[in-house]
Amino acid sequence: MASLFSSPDSKSLSITTSALFLSSLASLPSTHAQPPSTSASTQLPPVPASVPPTALIPSSRFLVDAFRHAGDFTVAYFLSHFHSDHYAGLGPSWSRGLIFCSALTARLLVSVLSIRPQLIVVLDNGVRVTVDGWGVVAVDANHCPGAVQFLFNSSGPNAKRYVHTGDFRYLQSMRSDPNLLEFIGADAVFLDTTYCNPKFAFPPQEESVDYVVNVIKRAKEESRAAGERVLYLIATYVVGKERILLEVAQRCGCKIHVDSRKMEILTVLGFGGENGVFTEDAAATDVHVTGWNILGETWPYFRPNFVKMKEIMVERGYSKAVGFVPTGWMYETKKEGFSVRLKDSFEIHLVPYSEHSSYDELRDYVKFLHPKRVIPTVGLDGGRLDSKEAFALQKHFAGLVDETANKQEFLMSFHRRSTNATVGHDHEDAITRCLNQQEGEEAALLPAINFASEQSDSLNKRITEEMKKELSDFLPSWVNQDLILDLLINSNGDVVQAATNFFEQERYFFEEANVSNSETPKLEKNLTSDHGSSADANSPQEVPLFSQKPMEHSRNMVNLTAMRMKSNLPKRERKKSSNTANKPKKKGRSTASSPSTESSGGKQSTITNYFAKTMSAASKSETYDKETVDAHHNNMENGNQFADIVESDEQALSQLLHIVNGGISRESAISLLEKTKGDLNLAVDIFYSKTTNSNVFENDTVAQDTQNEMIDKCSNTDMVNNSSEATPKMPNLFIQSCLPQTDSVNISLPVENYLPIEHGQQLPPDSF
C-alpha cells in the first residue's frame, strides 16, 4: 500500500483524527497552516450553522463532500468521489484536515489537485476502520471510478448508523453487500436524490452501452462498404462514463482517442498504459472522445451543434461523423432517449446513460435499507432540510422508511393540519384536502388566466413569427401553431421557457391534440427526406404534419399551463447575483429576445441562431426514437412510438397508486388523474408537491420540530466522548429483513416508457 498516504494503524485500524492530523501537519515540509487554534486541547469549536445538515453526520464531526464549508470545528473530511461539485473547496493549499476517500480518489487528489498525500487517509473498500470511535466503511457507489458510499456507525447505548451515498447508482448486487446489510434499518440514509422524480427512468447501463456499440459496428460495416471515412465522437467529461469507452474499444476492436488531459486522468485511474485502449494519437483510431458540450447543449432539452461537429470532422480529415451524447439528464426522458438527430452526413445519438440512480432505483435502495430517515443531498435549497424541497423529496419514500420512526411526525403534522381545517385528521382526509386545495388553487388562477387572455393581444404583437418558428423547430412535428402560440404567450415570449413547459406536459398536450384530431398521430420519419426541398417550411403558414386543426381544449391547456408556471414562480433568487431573471440567460434566450438577423455569417454565433437559419426545414423530420431508427431493419409501424401514450387510464391509475405507495385511496387517485387529464407525471407532481407546498407546513412549529428530530437531537457531542478505543460492536440487527422482497414489482415506470416494445410485454393491458 502506498506509504505516501496517512493510514490507520495497521493493527487496530483505528484513528484519532486530531492526533493524526497534527502529526501529518508536522510532517509537511513547510506549511504556513496553523493547527487549530485550540492547540493541544481536544475541544473543538461548535459547528457553524452554515454547514449544511446534508453534509454533517449527526453527533459526529464528520463532513462529507463539504470542503467549501471547512473550518476549525473539524479535521475529519470525507470525499465520496472526484467530481468538482463534491471536491469544491479543495486545492493545493488545503490544510484544514484529513481527507478520507478511496484509493482511486486519493490518487486523483494528488495528481490533479496537488493535495499533499500526508493529509489523505485511504479507505479500502469494504475494510472497516475506527475513526474517533466510529466505525467507518467505504463501499462502491457504482458512480464514477473511485466513487464510494460511506457507512458510519457509533457504538454504545445510543448507537447510530448512517449511510451517506455520495453520488451513486443503485445495483441489485448492493443487496448482498455484507457491509450494507449491516446498515439495514439505519438511522438515516443521506441519499443522492438527483433523479428523485418518477419522470426519470432510464435503462440499465449495459443497454445503453450495447446501443452505442451496435451503432458503431453497423456504421463501420456500412462505411467500409461505401469506402467513406467516418469519425465517431463520444462526449464525456473528465471522470466518468469510461465504461462506454472501454466496451466500445473491446467490442469494436479499436482504440479510443483522448486528449492529453483525459489521458492523464485515465492513466491515474489505471486505464492508461502503453498498450491500453486509449491513445493520444488521433490518427490511430476513428473513435474520438470530445468534451461534454461540444456536440450540443443538453439542457433544457437537447439541441445538437452540427456546426462544431463539422469543424471537428473537417479538421481531422473525415467525410462523415457520428456522435454520441450519453446523458442522464433528459426532460421527459423517453422522448429524447435513444433518439438520433440527423443532418447531412452527421448523426448525433442521444444515449440515456446515467451514473445516478433512477427514481425506481432510489426507491429500491430505500426499500432495501429501510432506514428511519432519508436525507436528500441533492435538490435542496442551500441544503436546508426544513425546506419544501426536502419534504417533497422525502415524501417519495414515505412508505419505504421505518414507519414506526416516522409515524409520529406524520401524525403530528397531519393533526396540525386538521386542527387548522377543523376536519377529520386521518391520512386520507389530508390527501383529499390537498386535492381540494388543488381545486381551489386552480380556481384562484382564473383571474390570472383571464388577465393573460386580455394581454394576449399585446403579447401577440411581441411574439414574432421567428420565435414561433424557432420554437416549432424544437418541438415534435405534431405540435400545431395554436399550441405554439399558447406556449409562447404563457412563457411571455421566452422560447426556452416555452419549450420547457411543453416538455413538462408533453403527454398531456399530445393527448389533447390527439383528442382533437380523433386520429392516431403519425410522425413523419422519412430518413431520406431531402432537406433542401423543403425550403418553404420557413413560411409561417406551414402546418406541422400532425396538426390538421386547432386544439379544441386550448382553454384547459392554458389553465394547466398557467398552474404549472405558477408553481414554478417562487424561484429562488441567487444570493448575490442580483441580476437577470433566472431564465437561461444564454443562447436560446438571447436569440428570442434580441432580434437575430438573417445576415450573420457562416459562423454559428448561437445554436438557436443556427437553428433559425438552417434547421427549420429539416428538424421536424430529424428526431426519431430508437425504434424509428431501427425501423430500417425491423419494418416497424410508425404508431409504435406512441403506443405508450394511448395506454389505458387503468394503467396510469395503477402506476400512480404504485408510485404513491398506498398514500392515497383509489378514489382519490382517480380524481387526481381526472384533474390532470390522465397525465401521470402531473398527478405525481401534484401529489408530492401540493402536500408540502401548502402553507400548512410553513410557519408550522410542528414541522420545525419534525425537522429537528430528523437529524437527531444529539447536537455537538464532542468527539472525545467516544474516546473508547474498543472496537465498536456491530449490532447484528435486522438480518431477518434481508429476505427477498417479493413485493417490489417494477411496473412503476412512467407511462412514457423508454422502450415501449420491451416493456410492453411486461405490462399486458389486462393485468390490472
Partner DNA sequence: GCGATCAGGT
Partner DNA sequence: CACACCTGATCGC
Binding site for DNA (CB under 7 A): 68, 82-86, 88-89, 91, 93, 112, 167, 194, 237-240, 291-294, 297-300, 325-330, 354, 356, 378-379, 389, 500, 568, 571-572, 574-577, 579-580, 582-583, 585-586
> Any idea what DSSP says for residue 612?
I
SS3 (DSSP) at 198: coil
Q: Between 297 and 512, name the residue whose CB sits nearer to DNA.
A: 297
Q: How many C-beta neighbours within 10 Å does residue 448 have? A: 13
Q: How far is the CB of 227 from DNA (least distance, A)?
A: 32
Q: How far is the CB of 191 from DNA (least distance, A)?
A: 13
The side-by-side arrangement of strands in the sheet containing 98-101 is 62-64, 76-78, 98-101, 120-122
Q: Between 379 and 399, name the residue whose CB sits nearer to DNA.
A: 379
Q: Between 11 and 571, name the residue whose CB sits nearer to DNA.
A: 571
- How far apart (Å, rounded) are the C-alpha atoms in residues 41 and 414? 47
Closest CA to 751 of 198, 323, 372, 59: 198
Q: How far is the CB of 240 from DNA (least distance, A)?
A: 6
Q: Between 218 and 572, name the residue whose CB sits nearer to DNA.
A: 572
Q: How far is the CB of 67 from DNA (least distance, A)?
A: 9
Location of C-alpha cell 414561433: 468
Q: How many C-beta neighbours within 10 Å does residue 723 have? A: 11
Q: How far is the CB of 500 from DNA (least distance, A)?
A: 6
Q: How far is the CB of 700 from DNA (least distance, A)?
A: 21
Max CA pair span of the chain: 80
DSSP 719-736: GGGG---SPPPPP---GG
Q: Between 74 and 654, name the residue whose CB sits nearer to DNA.
A: 74
- How far apart (Å, rounded) are the C-alpha atoms in residues 501 and 301? 11
Q: Between 407 and 586, name the residue whose CB sits nearer to DNA.
A: 586
Q: How many C-beta neighbours within 10 Å does residue 315 have? A: 10
Q: How far is the CB of 89 from DNA (least distance, A)?
A: 6
Q: How far is the CB of 643 from DNA (least distance, A)?
A: 26
Q: Between 116 and 220, name the residue whose CB sits nearer to DNA.
A: 116
- How far apart (Å, rounded) are the C-alpha atoms in residues 11 and 31? 30
Query: Please, what sign has the CA dihedral across residues 476, 481, 482, 488?
Result: positive
Q: Between 132 and 389, name the residue whose CB sits nearer to DNA.
A: 389
- How far apart (Å, rounded) are the C-alpha atoms in residues 497 and 371? 38
Q: How far is the CB of 189 from DNA (least distance, A)?
A: 18
DSSP 323-378: EEEEES--TTHHHHTT-EEEETTEEEEEEE--SS--HHHHHHHHHHH--S-EEE-S
Q: Between 378 and 747, name the residue whose CB sits nearer to DNA.
A: 378
DSSP 224-289: HHHT--EEEEEE--SSS-HHHHHHHHHHHT--EE--HHHHHHHHHHT--STTSSEES-GGG-SEEE
Location of C-alpha cell 432580434: 595
Q: Between 96 and 372, name the residue whose CB sits nearer to DNA.
A: 96
Q: How far is the CB of 74 from DNA (least distance, A)?
A: 15
